[in-house]
Amino acid sequence: MAEEIRKLAEKLPLSKKISEEALKIYKEIETEPFPKEYKAETSIYLACDKYSCALVRKLPKPKSKILRRARKKTGIMPNLEAIDRVDAICELINKGKNVSRKAKEILKKYKEKYPSDYYGKAPSITAAAAVYIASKLCGEPISQDELREYLGITTLSIRNRYRDIAEKLPSEYSWLIRFL
């Protein structure tokens, strides 16, 4: 089992935490009647899904039957909203509850004022941008490059999204554009 995940992980720059999570998931679905390769793919896919990691796009999407069964067995469902992805991203990048709380506050305000922008953009990028802003505001900064490494989201996407959020939110965040 570990061998199958290791082979796939070599193709992607997965963080240690995502690789460890994929191994846990594999153990949960190990008894499913599917080839090892499919279970390994599905395990990595779900680990990335859990932590809102975009690196999963480099893998083929798992077969729907095994994905459905694995989701049911593990309880890992897709997070469709940006605000639902914040805790997982903060856990992945080792940021505390303050950053998570602040990012959710930012996203809540953004969602209330600009729902079409909030829902019209990729939730993982929106969540990453909010976490980026919140980490700066909470004095626990993380660089765009670090977010790129952890999440597989380009720095350009993060930069464009945080600027969009900061420009549209009240003046308490707009000053960030000059400093971020």
Do residues 68 and 88 share a domain? no
SS (H, E, C) 123-136: HHHHHHHHHHHHHH
Residues 17 and 41 reside in one and the same domain: yes
Instruction: Give the 3-state secondary structure of residue 12.
Output: coil
**Which pTM was predicted?**
0.71
Residues 96 and 68 in one domain: no
The letter for the amino acid at 22 is: A
Number of domains, the chain = 2
Q: Which helix (H) or strand (E) holds 157?
A: helix 155-168
| pLDDT reported for residue 178 | 53
Q: In this prediction, what percent of the chain has a pLDDT beyond 70?
A: 86
pLDDT at position 179, please? 54
Structure tokens at 125: 């990028």
**pLDDT given for residue 63 in this prediction:** 84
Cβ atoms of 25 and 47 within 8 Å: the answer is: yes
| Amino acid letter, residue 105 | E
| CATH code for the domain in which residue 106 is found | 1.10.472.10
State which of 39, 74, 109 marks the end of a domain.
Answer: 74
Cα within 13 Å of Cα(157), Cβ side: 15
Q: How much is the pLDDT for 103?
A: 93
By the 8 A CB rule, do 96 and 140 touch? yes
Q: Are both 68 and 96 inside the same structural domain?
A: no
pLDDT tens, position by position, 38-66: 888 899 889 888 887 766 666 777 888 88
Residues spanned by the domain of 117:
82-179
Query: What is residue 17's predicted lDDT score, i.e. its pLDDT?
Result: 81
Copy the structure tokens of residue 159: 């930069």
Let me know whether 126 and 93 are in one domain: yes
Measured CA to CA, the distance from residue 89 to residue 94 in angstroms comes to 8
On whether both 103 and 48 belong to a single domain, the answer is no
The pLDDT of residue 175 is above 60: no
Q: What is the mean pLDDT of the chain?
A: 84
